[in-house]
Structure 1
């Protein structure tokens, strides 16, 4: 069994001395939003500081996934290769979360690697994102079942300088991402950046970007925040931030955004005992896996033999 002390390595949360002050401050503000005022980065290793065990596990799953992205970037992988390393590690960490808490504390994660899709599946041009991340679980999303994150990943050789002037057949990528950014419904659009010289992954919500002056660039050292803190902050309960109440609402939303085009949703699930009847009724991952097995005729025993989590999923809208 993996030791909690090793899993919650302070190496993943401590900032190098050269980290810009504003970036550290922004990240600390996000941290305090879910740990409380006066919180320190050293508190992240203590699950008692979090509002729920699922929130603590989500943070560390994201921290390890970000570290895998940093390593892949240093290994000279291209943008899609880094994103694949990020998602593979996120999936692996979610699966092993039960090493610390039975059933992973109710944490549910699913994703769609949009950057790997081809027609007739939904393409990046439609939503301005190359990763769809779904975070769910009633212990985590207190006023609903799930929230959705549309993520546009960029690989840069210029550190904190984000360029978002990319165009596709539907116009500017940033404009498409802005259209799916809808916190009132429980959906967030954001950029994250892989940079070889940075030991973490900076991020920024698309709502903080401005291009009315014709300049499609932003300084993430000034307006950015570290990815794990931002994403966990977005799972909290806030005024004017909604969530998807059940599986039906989530499926309807995805079909609306994708215009009924298929999505290959991959599930990452912690092993553990059965959840309560109330939770299992709205268990996103069980629903997705069951739908996938029924549609493709894959038995549970055969699915468990598949070593790679990316082979688990289902198609929406077909």
Structure 2
């Protein structure tokens, strides 16, 4: 497994990270035994960087990881997040970055995870009612107390990153980034590179769509992708054409579309880590094999052109889910 640094002073982590959100919510029903099997196989394959958040399944996801970590804590780098507040079973949410909430949320996460220290603690979304200096100051106090090792931010602008980094070193920024979501190229990737901050690309497979194996017509009502603009109506038809082009590109490389999508991120940005999700173990060996796929600069340029931002149809989230995302 290729290793990449988690910021300029952080540990080395696997270049591919496993997002655990779908094991608890958003992609249909959860299955604890299947999820634990997936986590064990990921570790066997060298994926040592695990990602969760307190709002995934209203705490269920952290509790699930807590079960797994009982026998594997020293083998993984663990990331979780605070900031999105939801009642169990509700879709409505608010964003809280207040220092009091930062402290309380961390204590709750430590308890659910069953650990003494969180390796990487992210602000999940920004609420500008709390100055970034106050929020990061509260996060820094968690580091001083030994409850957190490194700090991260999610879906922030370059200005927010620079302001936060001036208060306390930021190890990583996590934002959605893939062939069909290129927003981070408008500044945050370069800001991360300049500051020595790792960039963690979530949904690198376009929530499964870039694999070519997902048929949105069969999504269940409890799958949140069924409400996403890119998976609906005319936008879906146009985006299917892009995936067919990706499939042809992958066939020429004797690879799968998923492997190409992951390899593109790793080839394009040496400071990036690709964070893919998996509920079941079947896709793990395929995704990890992306590390063996070598894309030339010409390949990267061809994929850049094929998935030019204007070629992708539909917003990446419903409007309500854009709250707290800085552009």
Instruction: Give TM-score scaled by structure 2 length.
Output: 0.32
Instruction: Give TM-score scaled by structure 1 length.
Output: 0.32
